[in-house]
Structure formats: structure tokens, C-alpha cells
């Protein structure tokens, strides 16, 4: 691997030059401007969730993420209740799982991203660019996005939840900040965040970052990337708007598996790996009760997958991946009094276009172009101590160009319309007392898998999904110097005639590849989550336990642990911030190309110590962190061990 220092120097020089230019332009207007909380396209007017979501949404702020030993936004998911990330080689470096499911929708500043693009953005988006990340552990927020992946040869990629990211507004602090990090395995990062107020109604922010890491010598998981986020925010008397541009350019090695992985000879890396995204959103406030919002985004990624061999130095192949995705969402919200209560009605239209001219993941050479047209409606009524809500969504998916798989053949298909994916959701909440909140949510979906068949060339049956969730939270202690609360959430899901990979056969066009053979089966998934949070004077703590029982899946392989435990304790003073965390994952059966083995079965610990101080009007912060203190080479995917102990030092300065 090569680290290109000229690019690093150019990034840092550009950041310094931009800081001077922004200060000259902004002048005395660099003091923070408080945004009216009653306005803003990122406030409750447009993005609010029903109160029945209170128990399945977890939010991480930028400050809380900086207390965690993470390298990017993706690694933050390891600290969310009921979720964990899986690292492996092959064509994707990261996967995320939540509640025994592996498909998470992602929304960044109102822009929905398909799974291939979402993982690339999460790996490269610096924490300095993020205001907050919310993990929604229930997919029934029907205004956020479709409940199936737009990308894939079939429609059974069931969405289990959403990751909602808000990048840092130009109207908010910090206005100017520089961050640098050094860590194990020659990790080095530097980024700067700069904002300027061009007027009382328009502000801009730029975040520039360079990230690189060598990784363990025998892992081949090195990376280098240069990342930039440019952002404009505007506020008017009756409207507000936001415009973002994200660009990342670099290279990424994919971890080498052990002999047990079945792919230990593969030496793969993305070089180059480019990602571009531009998105805009705006809200118009007709009056105190009526809001119209529009969101538009365009995402493009270009990557070249270089395929080598660890054994044969002459072996080489290249696979290009080009993806383009466009998302348009237009919605209107009506908020008014009704029958002595408050009613919020939101309805909208969502349109998505996806194009991959070079072929999808694991199916190179097969162009894919498709689209989704959707209508959705969500209504919530609140009165005194209780609320009820409902939602409807219909997604019409059309494959303009693609392929279908029949037995051991794949053939091109064009202009094929799928049956609409129909979704209905209901919810309710009841504030039983000042301390107790009860919630209920139910989701139903039905869809027809397309373009995949059974071993007998039979079309798969229609899939039905019914999911119910109950939640109870109680604030036991709420004092100035002491807090203690608990949350209990239970869920049950029934999948009728769900599509799954029943077996694999050799691809007649490529003996080194396999073709999936599908079948239908029914199974259940159920579980619960317990969260405990508290504080006493300067001490704070939290414990989360999640349990899933996926039942007897047809393949016999669940690929997820049945229990996850997380615990964190912190101690803070105005100057010092100390944190200690632990994570336990139960052993589980994991499958890869070589066969079936085990993963999980470990307990890891992490720690961080931060110190804040000021000199000459500058605010400084040092953070020392240690991840995986016991240096355990645990596996979350069979055959792909973790790096072990990672040490790091972060330095922040605001000026």
C-alpha cells in the first residue's frame, strides 16, 4: 500500500487557507446564531416520529460519539442496543445486524441511500461532520423509506430499521475546529470543520478529512481516503433550505480471511473507491399548521475491485462497479386541533431510480436499472395521556433492465413490474403516570419475490410479515443529582412463506462461482431488550441487554448471536471525562463460503480518558482511548478475526 503525502499536505493546506478566507468573509458575524426551534426542516415539523416510537429509537450526539473508541460512523453501531457490525473480506468490509436482521435503511439529511452506497458513506463520513445519529430499531416509520431494498434480484431483503444521520448545521457550534488522531497500526486522521455566517439567514460549513490506516500486516485491510462535506443552510420568514455535497476518494483493502473462511487465497482491494453525493431539502411553512417539504438527492459511486491471489503472483482480475441513485421525496404535513387533542397528518410521494451499468455485487456483467414509486400516509392523534397513530405505504417497483435466475441459468429481463409492496402500521402510547410510558406498535407487509425460482423452476410464493412490539419505560428517580430509569421492549415477528437461499449450484458460466437456489419457508423471530440508565452526581452508567430467538430457520444457520450485553460507566468533571465499557456476545453458528463454524463467544472491554483545557482563547481537548483491552481476536463472521487491541489519541482544538 502507498500513502500519498502530497494529497495529505494539499488537504491540510486547503483547510488552513479556507479558514482564513471564511474568517475574512464572516467578520463579526462568526458568533453563533440560535435557530428558532419552531422552524427548520430538521425539526419535528417534518421528521417527527409518533410517540409510540419512544422505546425503539436511540440517538448518539457528536459529543457522545467522541467518548467512544470508534474510527467512523459505522463502528458506532457496535454501541447501539440490539445491533452489531460484522467485519469480513470479500466485496464488502462491513455489514450491520439488528434484531436478527441485516438490512438497515439509511437516511442522511433527508436523503435515502441504497445499501451499497450506505455502507460506503458510513465508512468514510467523519464524526466531525455529524450532529447526531439515530438508530430506529423498527422499520414501521413509513415516511422514512421503503421496507425493502431497492437493489437485488428479489424483494425479500426485509428492512429491519433505519439509521438517520443529521450532519452538523452551519448555524451551530463548533464554528472552527481542528482534529487529529494517531492510533495503532499506523492509523492517522486529520480533519477540520469550519463554518461562516454570510448573513442572518445563510450560513455555510465545510468539513475536510484525510484518513489512513495500515492495519495488521497479515490482514491486508489498509485504507486511505480524502473526504469532504460542503454544506449551506438557509432560513427565511416562511421557508428554510439546506444543500449538501459529499465527496470521498481513496482506496480500501479487504481483510484476508483465515483458512477456515474458504477465501484465504483472495487478495482484494478497491482502488480507486470514489463516492459522491449531493442532496437538497427545503421546507415551506404556509402557516402554523401546514408545512410542505421536498427532498432530492443524487448519489454516485465508482469503484474498481482489484482481484489478486496470495498464492499465484500472476493471477489478476479487475471488476468495475458503477452505481447511480436518485431519490425524490415530496411531503405535506397538517398539524391541527381535533376533538380536544392534537392531530398530525403527513402524506407524501417518494420516487427512486437506481442504475448499475457494470453489474451488481456478486453478479458482474449484468446491467441493472430499476425504480420505485411510492405513496405513503402517516397520522398521529395525541390527547392528554395517550396517542394513537397509523401508517400506510405502497411501493411499486419496476425492473427496467435486470436478470432473473431459473435453475442454473440467468437471463436478461426488461420492463418487469413487481406486485406492489403493501405496508400497514399502527401504534399507540399511554402515559400511565409521570414516570411510566407504555407503547405498542404493529407492522404488516406483503410482497411477491420476483426473478428467483425454486430448484423445480417454480415461482416463489407471496411473502407475508407480521410484527408486534410492546414497550414500557419508567423513570424511577429524577432528581437534580440522581437519575435512574429502565426500558423494557419485547417484539414478536412471524414470516409466512419467506424467501431464503436453500442451496447453491455451480455457475455454468464461471466454475469458480455459485448460483443461489431459493425456496419458501415460514419461521418466527422474537426477543426483548432491557435498558438501564442512571446518574449520581458526576457518575453516569448504562446497561443494555438484548435477546433474540430467531426460531428454526430453514437453513439452520442464523448468523447472529442470540444475546448481546453492553455496559458503560462514566465519570465527568468540567476538565476530565473518564469512560469504561464492556461488551459480551454469545457464541453463534456462522456460515461462509467454506462451510459452517462458530463466531461470537467473547467479552471485550474499552476505555477512554478525556481532558479539556483552554489557552489564549482556544478550547482544547485530548482523548486517550483503548479498544479491545484484552487483545482478543474475536470473530463476528466465521473466518475473519478482529484486529485485537487498538490504541488511539485524539486532539481537538476550537478557535
Q: What is the pLDDT of residues 133-180, one digit of tens each?
A: 999 888 777 777 777 766 654 444 667 788 889 999 898 888 899 999
Q: How many CA atoms lie within 13 A of 150 on its CB side?
A: 34
Q: What is the pLDDT of residue 402?
A: 80
Give the residue with greater pLDDT, 570 vs 118.
570
The Cα 438–Cα 421 span in angstroms is 30
Q: Which three cell numbers stand for residue 31?
A: 458568533
- Band (pLDDT 50/70/90 cuts) for residue 352 is very high
Q: Is the pLDDT of residue 32 over 50?
A: no
Is the peptide bond prior to 174 cis by the omega test (within 30 degrees of 0)?
A: yes
In this structure, what are the phi and psi dihedrals at residue 594, rounded to the nearest 5 degrees?
-80, -25
Mean pLDDT, residues 117-137 taken together: 87
- Band (pLDDT 50/70/90 cuts) for residue 622 is very high
Q: The whole model's pTM is what?
A: 0.86
- Band (pLDDT 50/70/90 cuts) for residue 18 is very low
Q: What is the pLDDT of residue 141?
A: 74
CB 119 within 8 A of CB 106: no
Q: What is the pLDDT of residue 478?
A: 95
Mean pLDDT, residues 377-392 taken together: 95
The Cα 409–Cα 402 span in angstroms is 14
- Residue from 364, 410, 596 nearest 507 by CA: 410
Residue located via cell numbers 482511548: 625
Q: Is the pLDDT of residue 289 over 70?
A: yes
Highest mean pLDDT range out of 51-60, 357-366, 442-451? 51-60
Annotate 180-214 with DSSP letters as a single string.
Answer: EEEETTTEEEEEEEEEEESSSSEEEEEEEEEEEE-
Q: Is the pLDDT of residue 8 over 50?
A: no
The Cα 134–Cα 166 span in angstroms is 9
Q: What is the pLDDT of residue 451?
A: 62
Question: Which domains does the chain show, CATH number per domain?
Answer: 5-654 (2.40.170.20)
CB 72 within 8 A of CB 122: yes
Q: What is the pLDDT of residues 171-227, one digit of tens each?
A: 888 889 999 999 999 999 999 999 999 998 999 999 999 999 999 999 999 999 999
Find the helix or strand (DSSP H, E) in which 626 lies.
Answer: strand 618-627
Q: Which three cell numbers stand for residue 579?
A: 469512560
Instruction: Enumerate the β-bridge partners of residue 195.
Output: 205
Listed in sequence order, the DSSP H helices in 109-189 are 115-124
Q: Is the pLDDT of residue 19 over 80?
A: no
Mean pLDDT, residues 50-71 taken together: 90
Q: What is the pLDDT of residue 424?
A: 93
Q: What is the pLDDT of residue 582?
A: 97
CB 101 within 8 A of CB 86: no
Strands 421-430 and 563-572: unpaired
The Cα 628–Cα 583 span in angstroms is 10
- Residue from 197, 63, 56, 40 nearest 127 by CA: 63
Give the residue with greater pLDDT, 564 vs 556.
564
Q: Which three cell numbers stand for residue 633?
A: 481476536
Mean pLDDT, residues 501-521 taken together: 71
> What does the CA dihedral 88, 498, 375, 108 come to, rounded to 10 degrees?
-10
Give the residue with greater pLDDT, 112 vs 90.
112
Q: What single DSSP character describes residue 101?
A: B
- Band (pLDDT 50/70/90 cuts) for residue 452 is low
3-state helix, strand, coil split of the chain in percent (to 5) is: 10, 60, 30
Q: Who contacts 455 (Cβ-Cβ below 8 Å, separation ≥6)?
A: 407, 502, 503, 517, 519
In this structure, what are the phi and psi dihedrals at residue 85, rounded to the nearest 5 degrees?
-105, 150
Give the lowest-confidence range in 335-344, 362-371, 403-412.
Answer: 403-412
Instruction: Enumerate the β-bridge partners of residue 447.
Output: 463
Average pLDDT taken over every residue of the chain: 84
- Band (pLDDT 50/70/90 cuts) for residue 47 is low
Residue located via cell numbers 405513503: 376
The Cα 299–Cα 192 span in angstroms is 24
Q: Which three cell numbers stand for residue 433?
A: 403516570
The Cα 29–Cα 198 span in angstroms is 7
Count the neighbouring beta carbons within 10 Å of the beta carbon of residue 21: 12
Give the lowest-confidence range in 151-160, 223-232, 371-380.
Answer: 151-160
CB 67 within 8 A of CB 570: yes
Q: Is 571 helix (H, G, I), strand (E, B) or coil?
A: strand
Q: Is the pLDDT of residue 36 over 60?
A: no
- Band (pLDDT 50/70/90 cuts) for residue 412 is confident
The Cα 586–Cα 566 span in angstroms is 12
The Cα 456–Cα 458 span in angstroms is 5
The Cα 32–Cα 617 span in angstroms is 16
C-alpha distances in angstroms, 442 versus 389, 423, 468?
11, 11, 4
- Band (pLDDT 50/70/90 cuts) for residue 113 is confident
CB 416 within 8 A of CB 408: no
- Percent of the chain with pLDDT strictly greater than 90: 48
- Residue from 198, 192, 191 nearest 212 by CA: 191
The Cα 492–Cα 488 span in angstroms is 14
Q: What is the pLDDT of residue 557?
A: 56
The Cα 118–Cα 396 span in angstroms is 22
Q: Is the pLDDT of residue 588 over 70?
A: yes
Mean pLDDT, residues 377-397 taken together: 94
Q: What is the pLDDT of residue 7?
A: 43
Q: What is the pLDDT of residue 501?
A: 72
Give the lowest-confidence range in 413-422, 447-456, 474-483, 629-638.
Answer: 447-456
Strands 161-167 and 104-108: parallel
The Cα 614–Cα 620 span in angstroms is 6
Q: What is the pLDDT of residue 42?
A: 45
Give the residue with greater pLDDT, 590 vs 373.
373
- Band (pLDDT 50/70/90 cuts) for residue 558 is low
- Percent of the chain with pLDDT strictly greater than 70: 83
- Residue from 400, 359, 504, 443 nearest 158 by CA: 443
Amino acid at each position: 500500500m502507498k500513502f500519498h503525502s502530497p494529497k495529505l499536505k494539499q488537504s491540510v493546506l486547503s483547510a488552513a487557507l479556507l479558514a482564513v478566507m471564511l474568517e475574512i468573509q464572516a467578520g463579526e458575524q462568526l458568533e453563533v446564531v440560535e435557530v428558532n426551534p419552531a422552524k427548520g426542516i430538521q425539526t419535528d415539523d417534518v421528521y417527527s416520529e409518533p410517540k409510540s416510537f419512544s422505546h425503539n429509537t436511540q440517538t448518539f450526539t457528536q459529543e457522545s460519539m467522541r467518548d467512544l473508541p470508534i474510527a467512523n460512523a459505522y463502528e458506532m453501531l457496535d454501541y447501539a442496543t440490539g445491533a452489531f457490525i460484522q467485519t469480513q473480506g470479500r466485496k464488502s468490509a462491513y455489514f450491520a445486524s439488528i434484531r436478527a436482521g441485516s438490512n438497515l435503511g439509511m437516511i442522511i439529511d433527508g436523503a435515502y441511500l441504497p445499501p451499497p452506497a450506505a455502507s460506503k458513506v458510513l465508512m468514510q463520513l467523519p464524526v466531525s461532520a455529524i450532529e447526531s445519529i439515530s438508530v430506529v430499531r423498527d422499520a414501521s416509520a413509513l415516511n422514512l423509506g421503503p421496507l425493502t431494498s431497492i437493489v437485488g434480484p428479489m424483494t425479500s431483503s426485509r428492512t429491519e430499521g433505519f439509521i438517520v444521520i443529521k450532519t452538523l448545521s452551519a448555524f451551530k457550534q463548533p464554528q472552527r475546529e481542528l482534529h487529529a488522531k494517531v492510533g495503532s497500526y499506523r492509523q492517522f486522521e486529520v480533519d477540520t470543520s469550519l463554518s461562516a455566517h454570510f448573513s442572518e439567514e445563510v450560513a455555510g460549513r465545510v468539513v475536510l478529512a484525510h484518513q489512513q490506516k495500515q492495519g495488521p500486516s497479515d490482514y491486508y485491510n489498509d485504507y486511505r481516503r480524502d473526504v469532504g462535506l460542503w454544506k449551506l443552510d438557509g432560513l427565511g420568514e416562511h421557508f428554510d433550505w439546506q444543500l449538501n455535497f459529499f465527496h470521498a476518494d481513496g482506496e480500501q483493502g479487504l481483510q484476508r480471511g483465515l483458512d477456515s473462511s474458504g477465501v484465504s487465497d483472495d487478495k482484494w482491494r478497491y482502488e480507486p473507491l470514489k463516492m459522491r453525493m449531493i442532496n437538497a431539502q427545503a421546507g415551506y411553512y404556509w402557516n402554523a399548521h401546514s408545512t410542505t417539504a421536498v427532498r432530492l438527492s443524487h448519489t454516485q459511486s465508482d469503484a474498481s475491485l482489484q482481484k489478486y491471489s496470495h498464492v499465484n503472483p500472476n493471477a489478476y482480475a479487475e471488476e468495475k462497479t458503477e452505481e447511480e441513485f436518485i431519490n425524490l421525496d415530496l411531503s405535506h404535513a397538517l398539524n391541527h386541533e381535533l376533538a380536544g387533542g392534537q392531530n398530525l397528518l403527513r402524506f407524501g410521494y417518494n420516487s427512486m431510480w437506481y442504475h448499475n451499468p457494470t453489474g451488481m455485487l456478486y453478479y458482474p456483467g449484468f446491467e441493472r436499472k430499476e425504480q420505485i414509486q411510492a405513496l405513503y400516509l402517516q397520522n398521529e392523534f395525541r390527547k392528554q395521556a395517550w396517542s394513537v397513530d397509523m401508517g400506510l405505504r405502497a411501493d411499486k417497483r419496476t425492473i427496467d433492465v435486470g436478470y432473473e435466475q431459473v435453475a442454473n441459468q440467468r437471463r436478461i429481463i426488461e420492463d418487469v413490474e413487481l406486485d406492489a409492496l403493501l405496508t400497514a402500521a399502527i401504534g399507540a402510547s399511554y402515559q400511565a403516570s409521570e414516570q411510566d410510558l407504555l407503547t405498542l406498535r404493529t407492522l404488516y407487509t406483503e410482497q411477491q419475490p420476483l426473478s428467483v425460482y425454486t430448484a423445480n423452476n417454480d415461482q416463489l410464493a407471496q411473502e407475508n410479515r407480521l410484527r408486534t412490539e410492546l414497550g414500557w419505560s419508567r423513570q424511577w428517580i429524577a432528581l437534580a443529582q440522581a437519575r435512574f430509569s429502565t426500558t423494557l421492549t419485547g417484539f414478536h415477528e412471524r414470516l409466512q412463506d419467506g424467501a431464503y437461499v436453500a442451496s447453491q449450484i455451480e455457475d455454468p458460466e464461471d466454475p469458480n462461482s455459485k448460483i443461489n437456489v431459493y425456496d419458501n419457508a415460514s419461521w418466527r423471530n422474537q426477543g426483548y431488550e432491557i435498558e438501564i440508565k442512571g446518574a449520581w452526581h458526576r457518575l453516569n452508567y448504562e446497561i443494555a441487554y438484548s435477546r433474540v430467538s430467531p426460531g428454526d430457520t430453514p437453513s439452520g444457520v442464523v448468523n447472529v448471536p442470540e444475546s448481546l450485553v453492553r455496559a458503560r460507566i462514566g465519570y465527568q468533571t468540567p476538565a476530565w471525562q473518564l469512560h469504561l465499557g464492556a461488551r459480551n456476545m454469545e457464541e453463534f453458528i456462522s456460515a461462509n463460503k467454506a462451510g459452517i463454524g462458530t463466531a461470537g463467544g467473547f467479552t471485550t472491554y474499552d476505555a477512554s480518558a478525556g481532558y479539556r483545557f483552554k489557552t489564549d482563547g482556544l478550547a482544547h481537548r485530548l482523548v486517550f482511548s483503548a479498544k479491545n483491552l484484552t487483545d482478543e481476536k474475536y470473530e463476528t463472521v466465521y473466518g475473519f478475526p478482529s484486529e485485537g487491541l487498538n490504541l488511539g489519541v485524539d486532539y481537538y482544538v476550537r478557535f
